[in-house]
Amino acid sequence: MTLNLCVLTPNRIVWDSEVKEIILSTNSGQIGILPNHAPIATAVDIGILRIRLQDQWLTMALMGGFARIGNNEITVLVNDAEKGSDIDPQEAQQTLEIAEVNLSKAEGKRQTIEANLALRRARTRVEAINMMS
Amino acid sequence: MSCSNLTMWVSSKPSLSEASTLSSRSFITPFQLPSQSSSPTPNPSSRSSSVTPIHCNLRELRDRIGSVKNTQKITEAMKLVAAAKVRRAQEAVVNGRPFSETLVEVLYNINEQLQTDDVESPLTKVRPVKKVALVVVTGDRGLCGGFNNFLIKKAEARIAELKSLGLSYTVISVGKKGNSYFLRRPYIPVDKFLEGGNLPTAKEAQAIADDVFSLFVSEEVDKVELLYTKFVSLVKSNPVIHTLLPLSPKGEICDINGVCVDAAEDEFFRLTTKEGKLTVERDSVRTETLDFSPILQFEQDPVQILDALLPLYLNSQILRALQESLASELAARMSAMSSATDNASELKKNLSMVYNRKRQAKITGEILEIVAGANALS
C-alpha cells in the first residue's frame, strides 16, 4: 500500500506525492504515520513535519493548521509551509533573535500573544534547518 | 480668425451646462465629448478641466496634439498592464482553490459532528460589543477612478455610524492610499498601518490575521469588521462590510439542516476574450461536500480541532478579501484608463481638425495676398 501526502497552503500546493512515512507534530505531541493508518483528524501545531522517502528524511516547517488522515491519504492544511532546504539559515537565525528580543520587550497581554507566536514560528524554521544537517 | 476663446475639456463627464457655454463661445463646437456615462468615475485628468482659454497659434496647437498623443499612449499602456494583472490575480485565486475547497469540506464535516455540542472557542465568543476594529483594505496606487475614495467614504460612514451608537473603534489600514488618508487625519485612531503589496499572499493575510486575532483574543475589541471592495465584474465593484470576528461556527458553513452558507460557494473570476474585447466572467462553483470516512477519529477534542481550523478559515477569508480588492482595483484602473484613452483620442481628433482648418486658412490667406499683389502690379 502506498501513502499519499498532500500539503496545502492558501497560496499553493507545497507537496503532493507519495511518501513512505511521516512524523507530524500535533497539538498533543508528535505522531508517526505509516501506510494503513486509522482514519483520524488532528490539529497541527506550529512545528516540524518529517517526511521519509525511501531512506531519506526531509523536513518541513509547518505554521499550524489541521491534518486529516484516512484511506492512505494524508491532507495537511496549514497557513504556511516551507521545506527545510528552502529556508535561508542566516535569515532564519536572525528572525529568531529578533523574535526573542521582541518577546522580552513585550508589554501587555496582546503584545505577548503576538511575540510568542512569532517566536514559535521562528524557532520552528531554525529547527527545520538544524534537523537536516 | 482665431481660436483664442476655445476651451479645453478633458473630462469623462460632459455636462450639458459646460457644453452650452462652450458652444456659445466658440465658432465651432469641437470639444463635446461622447457621453461615457458607463464609467461612474471621473478620469484622473479631470482635475485639469478648469476653464482655460488658449491662445493658440499653429505651433502651440501642434505641441498640444503631441502631448495629448503621449498621454494617450501612457493611458493605453496602463490599461493593458492592468488587464494583464487581472489575469495574474485570477491565477492566484485558482492556486488557492485546493486549499479552500478542502478547508470547507473539513469544516463541514466537523461542524456536522459538533452540531449537538455547545462549542466554545475564543474566536467564536460573542461578547457585548464595546469596541470595534475596522480593517480597511485600499489599493496602493491611484489612477483607478473612484476606487479608493468609495471605500474610504464607506469607512467614514461606518465610523460615523459607530460613533452615533456610542461605540469606540480602531482602524487597521491596509494599502498605501488608506494609510496616507488616515495619517492625514490623526483624530481617527489607527491601530496599525500595513502595506498591500503587489499580489496578496498568505503572508500578508497572516499579518492582518495575527493583528486581528490578538486584538480580539486579548479582548481589546469585541468585533472585527472587514471593509473591502467586492469584485462583481469589470465595470462594477461594491465596497462591502463583512464581519470577520466573532466567527460563528454554525452560520458560516452548511449545517445539517441544509441551511447554507457562504463558505461552500467558491467564487472566482475568469478573464476571457469575447468578440475581441476583454471581459471577466465570474464563476460560482459549488464545492461538493463529500462524506469522509464515518469512523474518523478525532485525535484531540473536537473543540481543539475547531480551534486549529478557525484561524485557517480566518486567514483564507482575509486572503480572499485582499484578492477581491486587488481585482476590483485593477478593473477600476482598466475602465478609468480606457475612458481616458477614449477622451484623449477624441481630443486629439478635435485638435487636429482645428489645426488643419487654421493651416488651411493661413494658406488661403497667403494665396490671397499673392494674388492681390500680382493684381496690383498688372
- pLDDT given for residue B341 in this prediction: 95
Residue of chain A whose Cα is closest to the Cα of B310: A65
Q: Which residues contact B2 (CB under 8 A, 6 or more apart)?
A: B55
* Residue of A64, A112, A74, A62 lying closest to B307 (CA atoms): A64
Contact list in A for residue B205 (CB cut-off 8 A) is 10
| Type and span of the H or E element at B243 | strand B236-245
- pLDDT class of A102 with cuts at 50, 70, 90: confident
Statement: residue B245 has pLDDT above 60: yes
**Ranked by mean pLDDT, which of A25-29, B62-66, B125-129 comes out on top?**
B62-66
Q: How far, rounded to the nearest angstrom, does the alpha carbon of residue B266 sit from its chain's CA centroid?
A: 20
pLDDT tens, B19-38?
A: 333 333 334 434 444 444 44
Hey, which residues of B are catalytic here? Answer: 144
8 Å CB contact of A8 and B98: yes
Is B255's pLDDT higher than 50? no
Candidates A10, A27, A71; nearest CB to B304: A27
Residue B44 has pLDDT above 60, yes or no: no
| pLDDT tops 80 at residue B316 | yes
Asked if residues B213 and B121 have their Cβ atoms less than 8 Å apart, the reply is no
Q: Express as a percent the part of chain B with pLDDT over 90.
A: 23
Rounded Cα–Cα distance for residues B326 and B337 (Å): 16
Determine how β-strand A13-19 pairs with β-strand B236-245. Answer: unpaired
Probe site for chain A from B192, B212, B293 (most A CB atoms < 10 A): B293
- CB atoms A43 and B308 under 8 Å: yes
Grid coordinates representing B82 are: 492592468
A39, A64, A77 member nearest B296 (Cβ): A39
In angstroms, the CA B13 to CA B24 distance is 19
Cβ pair B316:A71 closer than 8 A: no
Residue count of chain B = 378
Question: Which residue among A11, A41, A114 places its CB closest to the CB of B210?
Answer: A114
Q: Which of B217, B297, B305 sits opposite A43 (nearest CB)?
A: B305
CB contact under 8 A, A27 and B297: no
Residue of A9, A71, A75, A116 for testing the chain B interface, max B β-carbons within 10 Å: A9
What is the model's pLDDT at position B338? Answer: 93
Q: How confident is the model at residue B263 (pLDDT cuts 50, 70, 90)?
A: very low
A90 pLDDT exceeds 70? yes
Identify the band that residue B283 occupies on the pLDDT scale cut at 50, 70 and 90: low
pLDDT at res. B257: 35
Distance of alpha carbon B174 from alpha carbon B216, whole angstroms: 18
Taking domain B89-289+298-337, whether its CATH number is 3.30.200.20 is answered by: no
Q: Which chain A residues are within 8 Å of B170, Cβ to Cβ? A: none
Assess whether pLDDT exceeds 60 at residue B366: yes
B27 has a chain A CB within 8 A of its CB: no
Give the model's pLDDT for residue A8. 87
Encode pLDDT of B87-145 as tens digits: 888 778 777 778 877 887 777 777 666 666 666 667 777 778 888 899 999 998 888 88
**Kind plus residue range of the DSSP H or E element containing B362:** helix B302-377
Identify which of A76, A70, A71 has the alpha carbon closest to the alpha carbon of residue A23.
Answer: A76
Distance CA B195, CA B177 (A): 9
Residue of B nearest to A111 (CA): B214
Asked if B202's CB is within 8 angstroms of A64's CB, the reply is no
* Å between A121 CA and nearest CA of chain B: 12
Give the domain ranges of chain B: 89-289+298-337
